[in-house]
Amino acid sequence: MGAPGADGAVPAGAGPDVLLGEGGPGATLDLYGRPSWARRTASLAGWGACMLATGLIGVPLIWVIYGVAGRAVPHWHWSVITETTTSTGGGGLANEIAGTLVLMAGVVVLAGSVGVLSGVYLAEYAKGSLGSLLRSGSEVLAGIPSIVLGYVGYIALVIGLHWQFSLAAALITLSLLTVPYIAKSTEVAMRQVPTAYREGADALGLPELTTLRRVTLEAALPGVTTGLLVAIAISLGETAPLLYTAGFTDNMPGLSLTHAPVGYLTYAVWTFYNQPSTAFQNLSYDAALVLVVLVLLLIIASRLIVALTQKHTESN
Amino acid sequence: MTSVRAPATAAPRRADVPAIVEAGIRGVSMQVQDLALGFGSATVLSGLDLEVRRGEITALIGPTGSGKTTFLRSLNRMNDKVAKHWHRGDVLLNGASIYAPGAQLMALRRRVGMVFQRPNPFPMSIAANILAGVKAHRIAGKEHYRDIVEARLREVGLWDAVSNRLNSSPFSLSGGQQQLLCLARALAIGPEVLLLDEPTSSLDPVTTENIEAMARSLVPALTVVIVTHNLGQARRISDRTVFFYQGKMVECAETAQLFEDPREPETARYVTGRMG
Ligand SMILES: Nc1ncnc2c1ncn2[C@@H]1O[C@H](COP(=O)(O)OP(=O)(O)O)[C@@H](O)[C@H]1O
Ligand SMILES: [Mg+2]
């Protein structure tokens, strides 16, 4: 017998087994029996791989949180967040926390606006060779090691412009580091906005900026937020570029943008741990705990923002 | 206000229209002059001449790929943004070229509205969808927004269904309701011409009938151009019908005549179901 004619023309006079395939009736049309052994094994293996991958992410996460909290919580004092660091390791981390928060807010404003605008430009307007040039440029920037960017910031801003270790130098450097991420995720999110939205807006004669603000950016917001989240997480977690640009201080951040160093949490995690006094070492664990809590708060906040602003999306 | 639930068959057919209207006092709303249009090296439309009469429903029929959508989109310049788009010839709205160098796209689209094949409400609340164009074109002050939303939703027969969830997502509505919302959104900016691209192709028969009745109730205040692959729909609601085939206008005639006594053999083959 020839090949089964399941999708081609059935030869005239062909018996029913031709329609049903090699196995004859029952083999291919058995809708109710148990799936084959091979199918079940494959399915099980797929599930196993997914569980394993989830575990590979989940287990270290829990381990980190447990490890940090286990070391910090036993000697936790609320003075850690209300007092500034003293030279003996007494006091707390108020200046580092404030510094990190200021840096974070600065990155959101500076890198956020530059990054989102670049992403919009890349998605909506940058066509042809200019577009690919800008895109490559952004990718190169994203690929530069952060310590190199830090050094560049040091040479150009701290030395070159005669600033000192300062908030502005740190902010500009961190922004250079994070803009590519924000731009990329904004661009990708903008490109995924259904054409039907744009066409609907065009057909109504909406001005381009209105379409952007009320329709396309709005629809792209989850992606944009993800990019911002990554950017903030980077600025929370970076140490190397800040060593070159922010310096360090025991004082709270002041009003001087260019001439006063800033304290930040990763510095405390990194340096205090190597100090001989246990007071400093304890502060180092506290700083790590505060960082982890900040990251968690950040993720929750971003989820809330997306949930609140995306009440009207198609996926809901 | 016209009842939306009125059966579509009650709408006046061409044959029932008084003789004085027959005499053609209505005039021309849009005039297409020797239009050719394409993308890159492909020519999609060529040699099109057509008068869209004011206050009438003009139906565009033809097999898939014959250029109906592309033609419809040339009437409000929606092809402009498509890559490598080009055109020759002209389209006039009330005697003025819409492709003239100084022509304002926003103003054109305020006057020539469009509803698409698939409902495409914006990702904002139901009320905000209706108001999107109203706000952008500054058609009314804030104090009128509520009234506008209600009036437009009533006009399309959607008010009773959504009056208690104006701030909800439009995507919680059925496909037909979403399409009615898009129609209300288009009507809210007060266009004089309304372009409909197979507006009922994804809808159930009841909603289809509603939309047909709606379309009928819009004329003669508005001029309607509707693309449809549903020949019955063209017969039921349109005054004139244009038959497209392979990017050309084969025949344009009063609907009854085009269906019952077509001039061209291709038209005859299509309307009798022997083509495509
Ligand atoms: N952007 C485009 N680029 C190239 N060809 C296109 C484009 N849009 C439409 N066409 C072609 O134009 C022809 C007419 O398409 P369309 O107007 O959508 O037909 P209809 O609406 O009658 O089904 C089709 O052959 C289609 O392939
Ligand atoms: Mg079409």
Q: What would the pLDDT profile of A152-179 be if each residue is shown by its tens digit?
A: 888 888 787 888 777 888 889 999 889 9
Cα of B70 vs centre of ligand 1, distance in Å, is 6
More confident residue, A288 or B16: A288
Q: What φ, ψ does residue A285 adopt, rounded to 5°?
A: -65, -40
In chain A, what percentage of residues exceed pLDDT 90? 18
More confident residue, B136 or A79: B136
* CA-closest candidate to residue A193, choices A212, A206, A165: A212
pLDDT reported for residue A145:
86
pLDDT reported for residue B273:
82
CB of B129 closer than 6 A to ligand 1? Answer: no
- Cα B146 to its chain centre, rounded Å, is 26
Q: Is A200 close to B124, i.e. CB distance below 8 A?
A: no
Q: Is A202 close to B170, i.e. CB distance below 8 A?
A: no
Domains located in chain A, CATH noted: 70-309 (1.10.3720.10)
pLDDT reported for residue B178:
94
A89: confidence class by pLDDT, cuts 50, 70, 90:
low
Locus of tokens 């100084």: B102
pLDDT reported for residue A150:
83
Mean pLDDT computed over every residue of chain A: 81
Burial zone of A99 (CB within 10 Å; 0-12 exposed, 13-18 middle, 19+ buried): buried
CB of B62 closer than 6 A to ligand 1? Answer: yes
Cα of B51 vs centre of ligand 2, distance in Å, is 20
What does DSSP assign to residue A213?
A: I
CB of B191 closer than 6 A to ligand 1? Answer: no
* Protein residues near ligand 2, an ion, with CB under 5 A: B 69
Report whether pLDDT(A221) > 60.
Answer: yes
- What are the boundaries of each domain within chain B? 19-271
CB of B44 closer than 6 A to ligand 1? Answer: yes
Could you confirm whether domain B19-271 is CATH 3.40.50.1110? Answer: no
Residue nearest to atom 25 of ligand 1 (CA): B65
Least confident piece of the model among A86-100, A137-151, B39-53: A86-100
A76: confidence class by pLDDT, cuts 50, 70, 90:
confident
Report whether pLDDT(A10) > 60.
Answer: no
More confident residue, A2 or B62: B62
Phi-psi region of B113 (alpha: psi -120 to 50; beta: other; left: phi over 0): beta
pLDDT reported for residue B116:
95
Least confident piece of the model among A221-230, A270-279, B34-43, B246-255: A270-279
pLDDT reported for residue A168:
82
- From CA B92, how far away is CA B75, in angstroms rounded? 9
Q: Which of residues 104-133 of B touch A (CB under 8 A)?
A: 105-110, 113-114, 116, 118, 120-125, 128, 132-133
- From CA B2, how far away is CA B212, in angstroms rounded? 13
Token representation of residue B194:
């309304």
pLDDT reported for residue A299:
86
Taking the CA of residue B167 and the nearest CA in chain A, the distance in Å comes to 9
Cα of B107 vs centre of ligand 1, distance in Å, is 26
Q: What would the pLDDT profile of A105-131 be if each residue is shown by its tens digit?
A: 899 999 999 999 999 999 988 877 888
Q: Is A312 close to B114, i.e. CB distance below 8 A?
A: no
A29: confidence class by pLDDT, cuts 50, 70, 90:
low
Query: Which residue out of B43, B48, B70 has the highest number of ligand 1 atoms within 8 Å of its CB and is therefore the one to mutate?
Result: B70
Report whether pLDDT(A84) > 80.
Answer: no
Taking the CA of residue A241 and the nearest CA in chain B, the distance in Å comes to 40
pLDDT reported for residue A110:
92
CB of B39 closer than 6 A to ligand 1? Answer: yes
pLDDT reported for residue B30:
94
In chain A, what percentage of residues exceed pLDDT 70? 89
A9: confidence class by pLDDT, cuts 50, 70, 90:
very low
Q: Write out the residues of chain A at the interface with chain B, using a CB-CB cutoff of 8 A.
A: 194, 196-197, 199-207, 210, 214-215, 218-219, 310-314, 316
Q: Is the Cβ–Cβ distance between A107 and A231 less than 8 Å?
A: yes
pLDDT-flagged residues of chain B (< 70): 1-26, 276
Please name the amino acid found at residue A275.
Answer: Q
pLDDT reported for residue B13:
44
Q: Is A218 close to B105, i.e. CB distance below 8 A?
A: no
Report whether pLDDT(A33) > 80.
Answer: no
- From CA A274, how far away is CA A46, in angstroms rounded? 45
CB of B276 closer than 6 A to ligand 1? Answer: no
Buried b (16+ CB within 10 A) or exposed e, A105-130: ebbbebbbebbbebbbbbbbebeeee
- Cα A245 to its chain centre, rounded Å, is 23
Residues 6+ apart with CB under 8 A from B222: B55, B191, B192, B193, B194
Chain A residues in contact with B169 (beta carbon < 8 A):
311-313, 316
Least confident piece of the model among A18-32, A74-88, B197-211, B256-270: A18-32
pLDDT reported for residue A316:
52
Locus of tokens 């004082």: A251
Report whether pLDDT(A289) > 80.
Answer: yes
- From CA B92, how far away is CA B99, in angstroms rounded? 8
User: Which of A202, A218, A312 best tests the B interface by mutation, with the highest count of B CBs <10 A?
Assistant: A312
Least confident piece of the model among A62-71, A160-169, A295-304: A160-169
- State which ligand 1 atom lies nearest to the alpha carbon of B63: 22
Q: What is the mean pLDDT of residues A292-303?
A: 87
More confident residue, B36 or A92: B36
B165 Cβ under 8 Å from any chain A Cβ: no
Token representation of residue A229:
């989240």
Ranked by mean pLDDT, which of A11-15, A217-221, A235-239 comes out on top?
A: A217-221
Residues 6+ apart with CB under 8 A from A68: A285, A288, A289, A292
